[in-house]
C-alpha cells in the first residue's frame, strides 16, 4: 500500500482486506445494465422463459425443454434431468451471446441420409459451471477470465471479452459516456470495526450527531461503522450522467455489497458492477482485465496508486479520507482523525467536489475533440495526461533535502509527479528556477530561494496540486524557518 502523506498531514490506504472479511463469498449480483448480464440473470437465475432477442429454438431444443419441465429435478432429484435443463438454458444463452459474432462458431456441411446438413462447431466463447454458454458442452478445462461478479462461475474467452467490449463501447459513446472505476475505502467512504473505536469516538455509539445524519451508519450485524464522504451522493448522481460506473475494492464481497447498498440504495448506479478482492486475477492488485470496458475509455479513482500496477495512466489519485482514528493509526500517523476532532471534510470544497470538476473537464475534452469513427480511436488516457500537464506548466522546481540519499532524484515519486503536472525539475539552482521544494528552510538552496525571491514551498504543495489538478497558493505551504539559538 502507498503510504505517501497527504496535504492534511495524514496518510492511508484502503482498509486491509482481513478487516473486511465477514463471511464466505455471497452470491454475486446478477442484474447488470448491459444486455448480456441481464440475459444471464433472466435465463440462469429465474424461470422466466426466453428472451425476444434469442434466436428461434430448434425443435430438438423445444423437446428437451418440455421433457425437463415434465421431469422437475426438484421433485425426483434426478441429476440427469437437472443437467439437461441447464444444458438447454446454456444453449439459449449461447444463441444470444454468440449472435453476430464472427468468432463464436464455424459451420461445416455433412451428409445425413443423403441430405446436406449444416453442423455447428462451437468455439466456446464462455463457460458457466463447466458448461459452454453457447452449445452446452461440458468442458474439462475451464479457460478464459472469470467474471464471477456478473454471474457466479462465469468465465469468458478473451475473444468474447474483446467482442463485448467493442460492442459496449460503441453503445456507450453514442450516449456520450465513458467508464469510471471507483475505489471504496478512503475514496468514497471510511469504515472501522466497532472494537477499534477510541474513547474520544464513543459519542458515535450513542446517538448520531445531527451533522452526520444521512452519511453515518452503524452496522451492528457486521460489527462496523461506516462514514460516507461528504458530497458522495451528489458526486455519484452527477458522475452517473457522464460515466458507466463500477465499484472495485480490495475488501471482500460481503463488505463490498454492504457498502454498495449504502452508496446506491436504489441500485441505479452499479447493479452487478461491484468487483471485490476475490474477483481480481492477481493477488493484492487491481486490474482492468475484469472490467467490461475498453482501457482507452476508462478512468479510475483510487487513493492507492500501487495497486494499479498496469493501469496508472488511467488513474486519478484521490486524497485519502480519514474519518475514524483507526484509519490514521493504520498508517502510523501521529495526528487526530476527523471523528476525534468532531469535524468533517468540507461539503462545498472537499475532495469529491474537486474530483467531479476534473471528471467533467476530461469528459468534455474527450467528446469535443473528435466524433464518429475518430471517437472510437480516441484515448481518455491521453486527455487525462494533457489536463494534468497544464497544472504546473511554466514552473521549474529544485528539491532540497527531500529525497533520501540512496534514491536517485529522478526516480523519486515527487519528481515524477511534478513532471506529470507539467513542471520542469532540476538538481541545481539558476535564475530560471521558480520554486525550491524543501522541508528545511535552513538548507543552502532554501536560503538561495529566499534571497532571490523565489517560491520556497513544502513538498505538500506538489501533492495538493496532484490531488486537485490546480496550482495551489504557495503561501499556504510554507517551510518553517529554524530559530536561531541565543548565545
Each residue's pLDDT tens digit, 270-321: 999 999 999 999 999 999 999 999 999 999 999 999 999 999 999 999 999 9
* Total Cβ atoms within 10 A of residue 428: 7
Q: Which pLDDT belongs to residue 184?
A: 98
* Least trusted range by pLDDT, from 116-125, 219-228, 386-395: 116-125
Q: According to the model, what pLDDT value does residue 10 have?
A: 55
Q: How far apart are CA 129 and CA 138, in angstroms?
A: 9
* Residue 76 or residue 415, greater confidence: 415
Query: Taking CA 334 as the corner, what is the angle to CA 328 and CA 340, rounded to the nearest 5 degrees?
Result: 55
**The most confident of 110-114, 342-346, 407-411, by mean pLDDT:** 342-346
Could you tell me where the beta strands, DSSP code E, fall in 243-338? Answer: 243-248, 274-275, 298-302, 315-317
Does the pLDDT at position 87 exceed 60? no
Q: Is the pLDDT of residue 58 over 70?
A: no
- Measured CA to CA, the distance from residue 179 to residue 294 in angstroms comes to 8
Grid coordinates representing 367 are: 467528446
Task: Centre a 10 Å sphere on the Cβ of residue 245 and count the other Cβ atoms it contains.
Answer: 21
Whether 256 and 294 have beta carbons less than 8 Å apart is answered as no
Q: Would you tell me how many other CB atoms lie within 10 Å of the CB of residue 28?
A: 21
How many angstroms separate the CA atoms of 448 and 457, rounded? 13
Q: Residues near 430 by Cβ (< 8 Å), separated by ≥ 6?
A: none
* Domain chopping of the chain, boundaries: 126-156, 175-366, 392-476
Q: Return the H-helix or E-strand segment holding 72.
A: none
Could you tell me how far CA 341 lies from the centroid of its own chain? 30
pLDDT cut 90: percent of the chain above it = 63
Q: What is the per-residue pLDDT across 373-408, written as a single tens digit (0 to 9) for each?
A: 688 889 999 999 999 999 999 999 999 999 998 889
Task: Give the pLDDT score at 484.
Answer: 57
d(CA 487, CA 226): 54
Q: Distance between CA 85 and CA 72 in Å, rounded?
A: 9
Q: Do domains 175-366 and 392-476 have the same CATH topology?
A: yes
CA–CA separation, 275 vs 150, rounded Å? 9
Distance CA 40, CA 148 (A): 12
Rounded to an integer, the average pLDDT of 143-151 is 90
Q: What is the mean pLDDT of residues 1-27?
A: 37
Residue-level length of the chain: 487
As a whole number of angstroms, the distance between CA 215 and CA 204 comes to 12
Residues 211-229: what's their mean pLDDT? 94
**CA-based nearest residue to 340, from 189, 216, 197:** 197
Q: Are the beta carbons of 183 and 316 closer than 8 angstroms?
A: no
Query: For domain 175-366, is the CATH number 3.40.50.1000?
Result: yes
Would you state the pLDDT for residue 483?
Answer: 64
pLDDT band at 53 (very low <50, low <70, confident <90, very high): very low
Q: Which numeric CATH code is attached to 392-476?
A: 3.40.50.10190
Averaged pLDDT of the chain: 81
Which residue has 502523506 as its cell numbers?
Answer: 5
In the chain, the percentage of residues whose pLDDT exceeds 70 is 73
pLDDT above 50: residue 365? yes
Query: Phi and psi dihedrals of 458, rounded to 5?
Result: -75, 150
Q: b or e along 299-323 (b: 16 or more beta carbons within 10 Å of the residue's beta carbon)?
A: bbbbbbbebbeebeebbbbbbbbbb
- pLDDT at 371 (0 to 100): 64
Q: What is the average per-residue pLDDT within 66-84?
A: 44
φ and ψ at residue 472, rounded to 5 degrees: -80, 155
3-class secondary structure, 287: coil
Q: Is the pLDDT of residue 50 over 80?
A: no
Amino acid at each position: 500500500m502507498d503510504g505517501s502523506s497527504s496535504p492534511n498531514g495524514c496518510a492511508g490506504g484502503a482498509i486491509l482486506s482481513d478487516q473486511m472479511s465477514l463471511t464466505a463469498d455471497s452470491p454475486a449480483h446478477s442484474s447488470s445494465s448491459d444486455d448480456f448480464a441481464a440475459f444471464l440473470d433472466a435465463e440462469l437465475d429465474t424461470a422466466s422463459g426466453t428472451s425476444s432477442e434469442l434466436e428461434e429454438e430448434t425443435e430438438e431444443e423445444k423437446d428437451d425443454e418440455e421433457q425437463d419441465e415434465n421431469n422437475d429435478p426438484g421433485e425426483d432429484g434426478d441429476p440427469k434431468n437437472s443437467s439437461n435443463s441447464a444444458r438447454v438454458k446454456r444453449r439459449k444463452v449461447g444463441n444470444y451471446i454468440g449472435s453476430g459474432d464472427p468468432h463464436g462458431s464455424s459451420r461445416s456441411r455433412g451428409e445425413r441420409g443423403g441430405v446436406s446438413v449444416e453442423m455447428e462447431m462451437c468455439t466456446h466463447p464462455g463457460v458457466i459451471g463447466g458448461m459452454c454458454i453457447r452449445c452446452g458442452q461440458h468442458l474439462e478445462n475451464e479457460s478464459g477470465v472469470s467474471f464471477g461478479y456478473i454471474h457466479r462461475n462465469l468465465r469468458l474467452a478473451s475473444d468474447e471479452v474483446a467482442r463485448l467490449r467493442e460492442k459496449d463501447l460503441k453503445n456507450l459513446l453514442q450516449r456520450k459516456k465513458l467508464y469510471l472505476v471507483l475505489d471504496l475505502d478512503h475514496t468514497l467512504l471510511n469504515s472501522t470495526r466497532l472494537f477499534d473505536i477510541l474513547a474520544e469516538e464513543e459519542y458515535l455509539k450513542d446517538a448520531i450527531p445531527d451533522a452526520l445524519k444521512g452519511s453515518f451508519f452503524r452496522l451492528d450485524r457486521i460489527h462496523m461503522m461506516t462514514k460516507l464522504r461528504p458530497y458522495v451522493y451528489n458526486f455519484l448522481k452527477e458522475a452517473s450522467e457522464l460515466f458507466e460506473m463500477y465499484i472495485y475494492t480490495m475488501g471482500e464481497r460481503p463488505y463490498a455489497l454492504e457498502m454498495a447498498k449504502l452508496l446506491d440504495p436504489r441500485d441505479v448506479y452499479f447493479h452487478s458492477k461491484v468487483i471485490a478482492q476475490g474477483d481480481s486475477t492477481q493477488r493484492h492488485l487491481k486490474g482492468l482485465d475484469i472490467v467490461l470496458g475498453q482501457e482507452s475509455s476508462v478512468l479510475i479513482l483510487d487513493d492507492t496508486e500501487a495497486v494499479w500496477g498496469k493501469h496508472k495512466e488511467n488513474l486519478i489519485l484521490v486524497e485519502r479520507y480519514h474519518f475514524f482514528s483507526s484509519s490514521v493509526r493504520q498508517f502510523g500517523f501521529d495526528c487526530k482523525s476527523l471523528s476525534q476532532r468532531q469535524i468533517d471534510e468540507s461539503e462545498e470544497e472537499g475532495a469529491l467536489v474537486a474530483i467531479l470538476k476534473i471528471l467533467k473537464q476530461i469528459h468534455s475534452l474527450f467528446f469535443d475533440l473528435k466524433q464518429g469513427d475518430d471517437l472510437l480511436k480516441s484515448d481518455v488516457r491521453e486527455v487525462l495526461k494533457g489536463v494534468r500537464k497544464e497544472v504546473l506548466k511554466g514552473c521549474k522546481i529544485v528539491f532540497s533535502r527531500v529525497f533520501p540519499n540512496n534514491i536517485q532524484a529522478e526516480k523519486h515519486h515527487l519528481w515524477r509527479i511534478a513532471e506529470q503536472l507539467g513542471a520542469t525539475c532540476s538538481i541545481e539552482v539558476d535564475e530560471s528556477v521558480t520554486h525550491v521544494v524543501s522541508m528545511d528552510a535552513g538548507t543552502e538552496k532554501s536560503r538561495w530561494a529566499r534571497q532571490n525571491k523565489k517560491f520556497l514551498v513544502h513538498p505538500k504543495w506538489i501533492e495538493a496540486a496532484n490531488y486537485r489538478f490546480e496550482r495551489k497558493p504557495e503561501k499556504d505551504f510554507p517551510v518553517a524557518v529554524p530559530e536561531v539559538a541565543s548565545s
